[in-house]
Amino acid sequence: MTKVIFCSTCGTAFDLNKSSCSCGNIMTMTEKNMLADKFSKIERYQLINSGYGSQVQELKNELPLYDLSKTYYRGSSAKRDYEIKVSFIKDSLIPQITEWKNIVQDADAILAKDKVELYGRLLGITDFAIREFFGKFALKGNGAEILEEYRDFSKYELTMVMNDYNLTLDDIQTTNFETIGIDVFNTISDTLHNGSFLELADKGEFTNDDLNKVKGELAVAVAGQIISGITSIISQNSAAIKNVRIADNNLNEKLSHISKLSHSLSIEEQEINKQKQLFDKSDLIIDSCYNKILKPIVDELKNDPIYIKYKIAREPYDLQENKIEIENQALKINSEVSFWRCLLTGAYKNFNHHLNNRLKVINSLEQYNSINKKLNEKRHKSLSAKHNYEIDKTELFRQYELENRRVLRETEIIKKNKDTVVQFFNVLKTVKENIIR
């Protein structure tokens, strides 16, 4: 059983033999043993345990057995040995590498979902604390501005993971966010709106993008070399031997990348197993600490009559803020401008034509139109009108928050739990340090 677990209040490393944490939290032996058991299971689990790395290495060790002889007297003998070597590569080595590659990629996809789940929970927790508990315009007055740093961190990492793995909202519909009792999925939805193998032959080092290309095209490249090598053999004996050797040299050049590829897969396999443990441990920390500390506060706040009334009345301001964020994201997208269209089309139609194109790029056109419909608002007539709208609506939202926060701050649920929510950033700090080390 593991000797080091974590404090169920602040999330920091906690010696199993100690009775209390430096934060003052005292954990029962039952609680400590339960966490230690969960940690031990995480440490023992291997997402990838394929053994394909050693199998590929054994096959690579056999390659010298298929080297062509230094001397040939007949072209047919050279061709026969070349074809035997080709068959070994095509039927034994390449399938093993391909299977290994697929196992690593499948595991990587599972890890991506784990990352989305953890970053989504962090985003949901911080966003709820900022928007609902303190209010986005009142963080400094409550000493809660640190929460913005962790929200932005989780938002950035979540977006990067989904972009790197080409994930969409549909891909994460089944992701388990609900254990924290917050509508994380809607938060994520809002956040997100806001030649190949031969060319690599001369490179001394491979980038990740290069290695991905090699993984996908290794079999094709080798097969192409096999075909070109065999078809180049002509009937004349000396020319046949010469062309077989040329084909074999070219093939060996391609096969030199197998060592780099298998080395990359081996490192990737180890890194995936390591990250799986880190993210599973971080997930356990978030679940345990959140359920013990924050979830009771969240549930009580969501059932408070004053908060419920405030949240319903705030809906138009939330929609306007979402609309502004979508527009700002869309305006970051480049759009080709036609001189004749600008000349012949009015400013209103021209502005919204390009806005539509940009909204389609970020997959937000439908959501943008839906927000306008709910708000009963028309499209902006110009970029200047859009800027004025943002200034006016943001100020109205600020005034609404200032007025209503005075009332909310006096509710018992917020008065008695303000410090607890602020101090929860220690848990977030521990998780962040754990997953970026």
Which pLDDT belongs to residue 395?
95
Name the pTM for this structure.
0.77
What CA–CA distances, in Å, run from 291 to 9, 178, 181, 288, 295? 10, 12, 9, 5, 5
| pLDDT tens, residue by residue, 269-319 | 888 999 999 999 999 999 889 988 988 999 999 899 999 999 999 999 999
Cβ-contact 107, 48 below 8 angstroms: yes
Q: Which of 96, 91, 102, 90 is nearest to 57 (CA)?
A: 96
What CA–CA distances, in Å, run from 343 to 141, 159, 324, 340? 51, 38, 28, 5
**Centroid of chain to Cα 174:** 16
Query: Token pair of 32, please?
Result: 């400590």
Provide the residue type at 219 as one letter: A
Q: Which of 373, 369, 296, 293 is nearest to 327 (CA)?
A: 369
For residue 283, give every residue at least 6 positions away whose Cβ sits within 8 Å of its Cβ, in sequence order, or none: 114, 117, 118, 121
| pLDDT tens, residue by residue, 161-203 | 887 787 776 666 655 555 555 556 566 666 655 533 333 334 4
Task: Tell the burial category of 146 from Cβ atoms under 10 Å away from its Cβ (0-12, 13-18, 19+).
Answer: middle
For the chain, residues with pLDDT lower than 50 are: 195-204, 206, 227, 230-231, 233-236, 339-344
Which pLDDT belongs to residue 264?
80
* Residue found under tokens 């869309």: 330
Give the bridge partners for 6, in sequence order: 13
Query: Token pair of 399, please?
Result: 């005034």
Cβ-contact 10, 426 below 8 angstroms: yes
Give all strands (DSSP E) within 339-400, no chain letters.
Answer: none
Cβ-contact 7, 25 below 8 angstroms: yes
Which pLDDT belongs to residue 13?
83
CA distance 73 to 69: 10
- Tell how many helices (H) and how many strands (E) occur in the chain: 16, 2
Which pLDDT belongs to residue 370?
92
Backbone angles phi, psi at 170, to 5 degrees: -65, -35
Cβ-contact 367, 338 below 8 angstroms: no
* Residue found under tokens 């926060």: 405
